[in-house]
Each structure stands twice: as C-alpha cells, then as structure tokens.
C-alpha cells in the first residue's frame, strides 16, 4: 500500500514538473515545433511517464527509508520528540523572519537561495538545541525549588513548602536482577527512587531464560521472577523504558548510555561494570559494597570456628566459608579438609568483588 502511494506521488510530481518545465525544453529543440507536442496535457503525460519509471527504481528504497524512520521515531522517548519538534518550529520561524528580511535585497541569488539555506540550517540547529536542552526546559516548566501547593499561615502569608527532589532513577543491570538481593533491599525501604529496567536488559534476561543450558535457564527465570516481585512490591515504582542505542552492541555500554541520558545510577554487582562506570564518571551502586558494609567486622587476631571445605590455590592452603559466603583462606589448612577447626584471623581483604579473610590454625593445630 505504501509503495502504491509513493508511486502515485511520483506520477503527480512528474505531471507537475512536465507541465512547468517541458515546454521550455521543447522550445530548446528546433526540430520539435509541432503544436500538438507542445500541448500542456502532453507535457504533463510525458513528465508523469518519466517519473513513473523513476518510481520503479526508487520506490522500494523510499519504502525502506520510511519504515526505518517510523521505527526510529516510535522508539524515541516522547519528551525527546516533543522538545525537538518545538526547537525545530522555533528554528523555522527564525529562518522565515530572516529570509523575509533578505527578500527585500535586490540580489536574485540571495533572495532565492538564502531562505532555503536558512530553513535547513536553523531548523536543524533548533531541533538539536531542543533535543539536547530538554532536561533544562523540563526543569523550567516544573518548579523544583518550591511546591506548587504552597500553604498559607494564619496571617495569610504564603509559606514555602519543602523543596521537591528530582526523581532518582536506579537502572538495574542483568546480574543484579538475577542475584535477587535487590528485592530484599527494596523491601526494607533503604533504596529510594524509581527502578528502571531498559528493554535491552529485559531482552537479555529473556534470552537467558530461553537458553538450552539448564543452569542459565534457571538463572534467567529467577531474574524474571525477581522483576515480577519488585513490580508488585514497589507499586508502580518500576519503569520499563524503550530507550535503545542500536549503534552500541554491548548491553553494559547501553546501560551506561541510558544512565547518563536519564541522570540516574547503575545498580549492579558486576565488579568489571563497576570499574567501567567509574571510568566513564557514571554513578554506580554496587550491591557487594553494600553487603560488605553491613557484614560483621572481623578483626585480625580474632578466633573463629570453621569447617575446611577444600584446598586453596597455593600449596597447603585450605578454604572455608562463613554462612554469608565469605571465603576464608587458611594457611597450612589443607590437612584439615573436612574437619571443623579453630582459626585465628591474620588479615582481611575487602574489595568491590567481595571480602576475603586470611587465617591460620590456632596454636598450629
């Protein structure tokens, strides 16, 4: 249907072009002096036929281009389109006013070419300014310092309300959703703001949930269950955005782009993503950092009772774990594998990847 409409437009444009310009072309050819050929209807038909053959060459390309434009506009957030369009209209109005002023100049080239050039340049600049400055314009339209519902005291004087804070967006990555602890943290009320789950994160979760590998499939379904739980517990504080960055392949890079654009924070437990966000100056909240902060403090010299599970990477090392999963590396603990022993903490290493405790058997036993 769209292709037929484009071909019809080509016919109409061709007939118009033929009606206007072909008589001049016929005059340039001395051999063509037949009045029937110079007829306006013939010129329109010839122009329509020429443009019909052109439509056979370019109609499919135009259809694909229009489909691509349609998909791009549908994916774009509404505020971006709104403020970009407002900027475009303002740019075209300014171009019209300047072009009208230049039309009074008795220079043919300036009077005809300048309005077209100004419309293209100022229209583009207006769209870009409106698109890039949308957050500032939203801030101007929505007062953030004082509440609109200001109250009055007994004497009739207005009392300024408390400042209205900007909505804090927390963008969840795939790993932190699958991990599941974000739901428990959310239930405690310590994490405020709106949880944002981009569509590309949902797509990755669905891809994992549909995996042929049993472990991956279980993790993916767990992530979808966690999202369902968050959506039911936070009562509308979960936002799924269609924001996509097709020029970027990596999901982590898309997440950082989205966080920069929305002015939000990335919530993750991925150590590498945490470091990359810091390099790109993107605010990041690491669940492992929070877990480490609330763990009981272990002091060097403290005694602990643990069960040695396996041997360590270095020679004669043994490895044990606390109930919360913290690894304890025991010097000369290999011989105690499978036994419950008392150990003395020698040092503690704490990083964004987790906490590791180094110990040795108490009294060498």
- pLDDT tens-digit series, residues 345-363: 998 887 666 678 899 888 7
Tokens of 66: 């229009």
What is the pLDDT, as a whole number, of residue 71? 78
- 3-state DSSP assignment of residue 103: coil
Tokens of 295: 């763990």
More confident residue, 215 or 1: 215
What is the pLDDT, as a whole number, of residue 58? 79
For residues 365 and 108, give the distance between their C-alpha atoms in angstroms, rounded to a whole number: 101
User: Using one digit for the tens of pLDDT, what is the confidence trace for 323-339?
Assistant: 767 889 999 888 888 88
Q: What is the mean pLDDT of the chain?
A: 78
Lowest-confidence pick of 15-19, 33-37, 245-249, 260-264: 33-37
Q: What is the DSSP string of 21-70?
A: HHHHHHHH-TT---TTTT-HHHHHHHHHHHHHHHHHHHHHHHHHHHHHHH
pTM above 0.85, yes or no: no
For residues 146 and 108, give the distance between their C-alpha atoms in angstroms, rounded to a whole number: 55
For residues 281 and 259, give the distance between their C-alpha atoms in angstroms, rounded to a whole number: 11
Q: What is the mean pLDDT of residues 207-212?
A: 88
Answer whether residue 145 shows pLDDT above 50. Answer: no
Lowest-confidence pick of 50-54, 63-67, 107-111: 107-111
Domains annotated on the chain, with CATH: 2-134 (no CATH), 169-292 (3.40.50.1010), 298-364 (2.40.50.140)
Q: How confident is the model at residue 109 (pLDDT cuts 50, 70, 90)?
A: low
Closest Cα to residue 203, out of 245, 267, 258, 251?
Answer: 251
């Amino acid at each position: 249907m769209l292709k037929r409409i484009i071909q019809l437009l080509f016919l109409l444009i061709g007939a118009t072009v033929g009606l206007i310009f072909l008589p001049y072309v016929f005059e340039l050819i001395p051999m063509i002096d037949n009045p029937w050929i110079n007829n306006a209807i013939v010129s329109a038909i010839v122009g329509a036929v020429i443009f019909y053959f052109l439509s056979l060459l370019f109609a499919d390309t135009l259809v694909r281009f229009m489909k691509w434009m349609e998909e791009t506009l549908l994916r774009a957030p509404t505020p971006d389109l709104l403020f970009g369009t407002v900027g475009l209209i303002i740019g075209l109005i300014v171009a019209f006013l300047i072009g009208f002023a230049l039309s009074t100049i008795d220079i043919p080239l300036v009077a005809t070419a300048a309005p077209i050039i100004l419309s293209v340049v100022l229209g583009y600049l207006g769209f870009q300014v409106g698109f890039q400055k949308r957050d500032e314009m939203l801030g101007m339209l929505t007062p953030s310092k004082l509440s609109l519902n200001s109250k009055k005291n007994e004497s009739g004087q207005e009392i300024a309300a408390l400042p209205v804070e900007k909505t804090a967006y927390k963008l969840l990555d795939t790993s932190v959703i699958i991990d599941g602890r974000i739901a428990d943290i959310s239930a405690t009320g310590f994490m405020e703001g709106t949880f944002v789950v981009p569509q590309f994160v949902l797509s990755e979760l669905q891809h994992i949930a549909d995996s042929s590998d049993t472990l991956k499939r279980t993790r993916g379904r767990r992530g979808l269950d966690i999202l369902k739980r968050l959506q039911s517990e936070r009562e509308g504080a979960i936002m799924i955005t269609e924001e996509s960055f097709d020029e970027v392949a990596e999901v982590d890079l898309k997440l950082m782009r989205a966080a920069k654009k929305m002015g939000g924070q990335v919530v993750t437990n991925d150590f590498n993503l945490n470091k990359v966000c810091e390099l790109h100056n993107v605010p990041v909240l690491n669940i492992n950092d929070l877990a480490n902060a609330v763990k009981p403090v272990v002091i060097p010299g403290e005694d602990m009772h643990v069960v040695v599970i396996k041997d360590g990477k270095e020679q004669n090392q043994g490895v044990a774990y606390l109930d919360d999963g913290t690894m304890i590396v025991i010097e000369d603990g290999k011989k105690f594998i499978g036994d419950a022993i008392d150990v003395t903490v020698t040092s503690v290493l704490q990083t964004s990847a987790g906490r590791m405790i180094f110990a040795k058997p108490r009294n060498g036993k």
